[in-house]
Amino acid sequence: MLLPLLFAVLDSDDQSALIDRLKRRDPDALDELYKRYGKLVFSLIVRVVRDSGVAEDLTQETFLRVWNRVQAFDGERGKLGPWLLAIARNRSIDYLRSVDGRMSQSSLELSASEQPGLFVSMDEEVLNSDRGRKLKAAFENLSQNQRQVIELAYFEGLSQSEMAAKLNQPLGTVKTWTRAALKVLRESLGPESAL
């Protein structure tokens, strides 16, 4: 699941025209943004909240927030994809920390057979691209522990202290795993990565 997220970060398409259209409140621009990132946003959210119904609502809220806050977005300081995914991730973590989220947090993680079709097909599309293969190779360089701390930090929003408690590991060990994981990803992805 981290591969599609990094794919969005490394997306090199010029998005300045799309950003301008969004700022002019062009509804077709919002449609284009959704077509480009809708599956990815939904996949990220469903991975965090583990409930496809909630993920649908949060996906809609994410795109609504982008629509309402795009005037503040500065394309010179960042890319549209990572900004959109940050909104989705933060909205998902806010949900988990809410009363509703805490009540549903005890639910089981979706098995592969229960994953929504959008999630499965989007993963396949990304992994078949050249960039996807590069990202997959980068993640294959991570140890299981390194992969686990990256996923806990990103999808559950856990601090290193919280990860240490959840994994029943010393804080120093978790910090070492995290630093090592980021180093491996930086080296594998090269200077184009923003890690």
CATH class of 2-130: mainly alpha
Residue-wise over 9-28: b if at least 16 C-beta within 10 A, else e? bbbeeebeebbebbeeeeee
| 90 in Cβ contact with 83 (< 8 Å) | no
Asked if 154 contacts 2 with a C-beta cutoff of 8 angstroms, the reply is: yes
- The DSSP line for 55-124 is HHHHHHHHHHHHHHHGGG--TTTS-HHHHHHHHHHHHHHHHHHSHHHHHHTTSPPPPGGGS-HHHHHHHH
Q: What's the CATH number for 141-195?
A: 1.10.10.10
Contact, 9 vs 82, CB < 8 A?
yes
Per-residue pLDDT 10s for the chain (195 aa) are 454 555 555 555 668 888 899 999 998 999 999 998 898 899 889 888 888 899 999 999 999 999 999 998 887 877 888 888 889 988 998 898 886 655 555 444 443 333 444 444 444 454 455 666 777 778 888 899 998 888 888 777 788 888 999 999 999 999 999 999 888 888 887 765 555
pTM across the whole model? 0.60
Q: Say how many C-beta atoms besides its own lie within 10 A of residue 88's C-beta.
A: 27
Domain boundaries, the chain: 2-130, 141-195
Taking the CA atoms of 44, 47, 52 and 55 in sequence, report the sign of the dihedral they define.
negative
Same fold, 2-130 and 141-195: no
The whole-number pLDDT of residue 169 equals 93
Q: What is the pLDDT of residues 124-145, one digit of tens each?
A: 454 455 666 777 778 888 899 9
Paired tokens of 23: 């700022």
